Structures are given as C-alpha cells and as structure tokens.
Amino acid sequence: MQQAAPNSAHLFVIFGVTGDLAERKLLPAFYHVTHREGCEGMSYLLGVGRRDWSDDEFRRRAKQTLTSSGLGPGELSSWCDEQVFFHGIDDYRSQESFVELRSRINQIEHDCALPQNRIYYLALPPEAFPAAVTALGENGLAHSAGYTRLVIEKPFGKDLETARRLDQVIHRYFGEDQVYRIDHYLGKTTVQNMLVFRFANGMFEPLWNRDRISRVELTVGEDLGVGTRGGYYDTAGALRDMVQNHILQLISLVAMEPPTAFEAESIRSEKVKVVRSITALRDEDVVLGQYGAGEINGQPVTGYLEEPKVAAESQTETYAALRLHVDTWRWHGIPFYVRTGKRLPRRTTKIAIVFREAPLPLFRAFQVRPPANVLVISIQPDEGFDLFFEVKTPDRSFRLDTKRLTFRYQDHFGRIPEAYETLIADVVGGDQTLFVHTEEVEASWRLLTPLLQHKPPVSEYRAGSWGPDEIYTLLPDWVDYCLAEPTQAAQRGKTVPGRENDRIT
C-alpha cells in the first residue's frame, strides 16, 4: 500500500467538479479535511469540469458553496485564492483534452512546489469511468514521482460481466494499491466503530455467534423518491443501487471473523470471505416492490411510474427485502433479514442484533414470557447504539418492562465528521481500510447477478408504508426492532407478533 502522512503536500483533482456530488459533498468535505488535518498550505484542489470557467470564476462559486454550508467568508478567501484551481475539459474521451490537462497539472505542481502526489477523484457518471481512466493512463498520468491514487464512486459495474470489464480497464493502468472504491456508508462513524464495538469489548464478541444470536435485521429506509434521478434509477433499481454495495458491506462488517491485525489487507480479506459465504438466493428469499402514490409526512406524493424519466411500464424495483444466510461456522442457520426501499415512512439505517430468548420459561407462573434482548446499531440519522433489556417493575405485582441503554456519538463528541470527510482523509493518508477491494466487488456481483437476470415479480406498495404485504410472510415480526421503537413488541399488555397466544403482562 502506498502510504503518506495525512498532511503531505498533494494535488487533489476532482473530475466532474461542476456536478451535484462535488457541490454538496466533496468541496465541503475537502475543505474540512484540509483544515482539520493541519495541511492548509499543502492541500491543493484542481476542479475539472465541462465548463468554460476561469480560476477566478470557480473560486467564486466554491466560496458560495462553502459559505452556504456554514463557513464564514473570511475563512475561505486565502485558501480559495491560493490553493484552488479550475481546468475546463470538452470531452472525457478526448486524448487532446488530457494532454492539456497534463500540462496544467505539471504547471500547478511547478508553481506551488508540489512533489507530484496526485489524487484523481472521478465524480462522473459511471459510463464515463472507462474513458476517463484510459485517458489518464494513456497520457502518463497514472504514475508520478510521488504517489498517484484513483478514487471511484459506485456503482462499480451493473453486473458481474461489466464489473470485470471496468476492473480490467482500471488495472491496465493502475495497481490495486492505487485504487479507492468509495462506498460512503463505510465512512459513517457507527460503521467504522462496529469493528471497535465488536473486537475491543470482551463482553460482546463471545456472544457474536449462532449460539447466542437468533437473527440479524438490517433496514435501510429512504423517505425520498427517485427525484431527478429517474433516468439512472430506472436502469438500476434497489438491488443494484443499495444491496450490491451499501447493504452487503454492512453485512460483511457484522458477520466477519476477527482480522489478524487492524489493517486494510486483513480487514478486507475477512469481508470478502463473508460475501463469498452467502448462499445462493432462492425466489422464496426475495420480495421486490415498487412504490405507488401515497403520503409522506402528511404530504401526497406520486408513484414511481409518474416520476420524470421513468418508463411508463417499468418493472424496476424501488424496494427489496431479502433473507440471506452466511454459511460459516459462526453463522450457520442464522438468517440475515434485509430490506431497503424508497418512499418509506422515514429515513433510517439500523442494524438489529436479536439475541436468543432465555432457554427456560422461568416466569410462566406469572404468565410472563420475556422477549429477546436486542442490540440496535443506528447508522443514520442518529448515529449510536441502543441495548434493550428486561427489568421488573417496582410494584408488588410481577411485571416486566423493557428498558434501553442508549449511546449517541453527537451527545459525547459534538460534531461528527461527514462520511466523505473521513474517506477523503483516508485517501490522502493512503489508508484503504474503508474502501472496497476488487474481490469484494466481484463476490457481491456473483451473488446478485443470477437474481438480476431472473427477478421475481415486483409488487406495488403504498408510498409512506414499510413495503409490500409480502414482507410479513418473509418475517412476520420484522416491525419489532428496526422501525420507530424497538420496544413495541415488549410493551406490557400487547401481543408479541408471531406469538399471539403469549401476552406480556
């Protein structure tokens, strides 16, 4: 792995800098990383885009973007004026354009006395990746006297074949140790801390197996629809857009074995083993859906087929629920239930670790059957952990109540760095731990490609609901842990779903 200190002098080149991702996420993240890591005088930015802008015009727009994100104009002036540049490009497939770009990069490095440490961030549509990578390689920009790193946004292909073709182009010019495939979920604080939570706390790791855990539930809910992304999304769908990357990455972190060391190669190796161990998906393990008209937060919203740039007869899934099995010694026989969808009631990402119930109905004389303990890992929007456990109420009658131990990162540490801040800092520092290896990409597509080729029927669900009715056949009491309040199944006097003959009293 090419290593460098986070504050080593470098030129950060963003291709597609005039796009939405760069404006909303990358520019603010790059600024915060530059100043948080103490490399204000060594971190230079070259924006590349299909605009006829001067440096001054781009600097003015960058100041507007950063000011709107909460920074004061005084903080930005010297940095933007001295360390931010722009280069217009006509066509990412044009060799001539990249000859001019190479001259511009060389000029900036000469004028600013930079040691040819270069980072190329492809914030481009995925169809532009092969041409841009080829142009970089053919024009001698894949290697330099310092380090050269290539950052690629998902999706990494559309299926196994296209993913392999993309990797062939990348590896023709760049080594795997130069490539940083970004999945922004891996930059979230709770996701990073999952390894610490598991392996630094002796109370949890001995319980993290099929003997003590009955199932794992993962919900990734979005209240938004496809918006202006209808043209892209209609060719992708939930399986490609969320399951192949975000969700399989989260599952691999939950299910992986302890790595031999806390370093990129060891961690990524264990993650790959998890994805390779997931058994082939059967039709009965999958529920797909597409949102129809409904209400979100009391406001009417249209269905997917009425969204701009969506085909009138589209069968693209906006919702996917899966029952996965990780066929390893640790997890054999334990289901991993996954669901993700658009136009759900709220934006949330939660992982519920559901422990086994007590083996003996000790309190049956009191007509009490305690529910399982649950550990809920909240990844967004309120990053933290909740542990649900049973206590006896203080009155004379024998009643149980579910209580919660809660930890929230923001309560204890204040501002939490955005995911892109963490990932950009790691790219600059040469740390590939939180980035996706080519073997992970291939393993995930190998799992999902058969399902993509022979998808089960897509059912309609009402916008503002938690998905098609079929999900309650896949897991009848899914609602217990990953939705609004994981305690709802344990409320006194209420029926526990799936155990209608038992009452919590």
Q: Read off the pLDDT band of 395 (50, 70, 90).
A: confident
- Is the distance from CB of 198 to CB of 318 less than 8 angstroms? no
Same domain, 385 and 480: yes
- Residues 231, 114 share a domain: no
Residue 10 among the catalytic residues: no
> 160 in a domain, yes or no?
no
CA distance 505 to 493: 5
Strand 213-221 versus strand 400-408 pairing type: unpaired
**Residues 6+ away with beta carbon under 8 Å from 18:** 47, 49, 50, 51
What pLDDT shows up at residue 104? 96
Mention every residue, 6+ apart, whose C-beta is less than 8 A from residue 179.
149, 150, 152, 170, 435, 438
In a domain? residue 172: no
343 and 387 share one domain: yes
Any alpha helices (H) in 174-278, and if so which ranges? 189-199, 230-233, 238, 248-255, 264-277
Per-residue confidence (pLDDT) for residue 478, from 0 to 100: 59
- Helix, strand counts (H, E) of the chain: 17, 19
Count how many Cα atoms sit within 13 Å of the Cα of residue 245 in the half-sphere of its side chain.
24
Number of Cα atoms under 13 Å in the Cβ half of residue 502: 17
How are the residues of the chain apportioned to helix, strand and coil, as percentages rounded to the nearest 5? 40, 25, 40
What pLDDT does residue 77 have?
A: 66
105 contact partners, CB below 8 Å, separation of at least 6:
11, 13, 46, 118, 141
Q: Based on the fold, state whether residues 93 and 205 are members of the same structural domain.
A: no
SS3 letters for 348-366? EEEEEEEECCCCCCCCHHH
pLDDT in tens, 284-336: 999 999 999 999 989 999 999 999 999 999 999 999 999 999 999 999 999 99
Q: Which residue has the tokens 């043209």?
A: 231
d(CA 301, CA 68): 28
Active-site pick, 246, 325, 332, 437: 246
pLDDT value at position 3?
A: 44
Q: Which of 153, 177, 200 is the last residue of a domain?
A: 153
Do 143 and 37 have their domain in common? yes
The number of residues making up the chain comes to 505
Q: Note the pLDDT tens digit of each residue in 458-491.
A: 999 999 999 999 988 887 665 455 554 443 333 3
The answer to whether position 334 is within a domain reads: yes
What is the DSSP code (8-state) at residue 436? B
191 pLDDT band (50/70/90 cuts)? confident
Q: Is residue 19 domain-resident? A: yes
SS3 of 161-214: the string is HHHHHHHHHHHHHCCHHHEEEECHHHHCHHHHHHHHHHHCCCCCHHHCCCCCEE
Question: What is the per-residue pLDDT for 81?
Answer: 84
Q: What is the mean pLDDT of the chain?
A: 86
Lowest mean pLDDT among 83-87, 201-205, 270-274, 331-335: 201-205
How far is it, in rounded angstroms, from Cα 12 to Cα 27? 11
Domain housing 88 = 10-153
Which residues lie below 8 Å from residue 111, measured CB to CB, with a gap of 6+?
none
Residue 433 lies in a domain: yes
CA 118 to chain centroid, in Å, comes to 25
Same domain? 287 vs 149? no
Which residues lie closer than 8 Å to 266 by C-beta, 6 or more apart? Answer: 259, 260
Question: Can you tell me whether residue 430 is helix, strand or coil?
Answer: coil
Lowest-confidence pick of 4-8, 119-123, 392-396, 486-490: 486-490
CATH number at residue 59: 3.40.50.720
Residue after which a domain boundary falls, among 133, 153, 173 = 153
List, for residues 398-446, the tens digit of each pLDDT value.
Answer: 777 788 888 988 888 887 888 898 899 899 989 998 899 999 999 999 9
pLDDT, tens digit, 9 for 90 and up, residues 14-44:
999 998 888 889 998 898 888 766 665 678 9
Residue with tokens 């892109």: 420
Are residues 360 and 239 part of one domain? yes
d(C-alpha 372, C-alpha 357), whole Å: 5
What's the CA gap between 441 and 152, in Å, rounded? 13
Which residue did the predictor score with more confidence, 94 or 446?
446
The reply to whether 124 and 219 lie within a common domain is no
pLDDT (tens digit, 9 = 90+) per residue, 244-282? 999 999 999 999 999 988 888 899 999 999 999 999 999
Residue 225 domain-assigned (yes or no): yes
Each residue's pLDDT tens digit, 132-175: 999 999 999 999 989 999 999 888 999 999 999 999 999 999 99
Considering the domain architecture, whether residues 277 and 236 belong to the same structural domain is answered as: yes
Distance in angstroms (rounded) separating the CA atoms of residues 233 and 240: 9
What share of the chain has pLDDT > 90, as a percent?
A: 55
Total tally of structural domains belonging to the chain: 2
User: Tell me, what CATH number does 327's domain have?
Assistant: 3.30.360.10
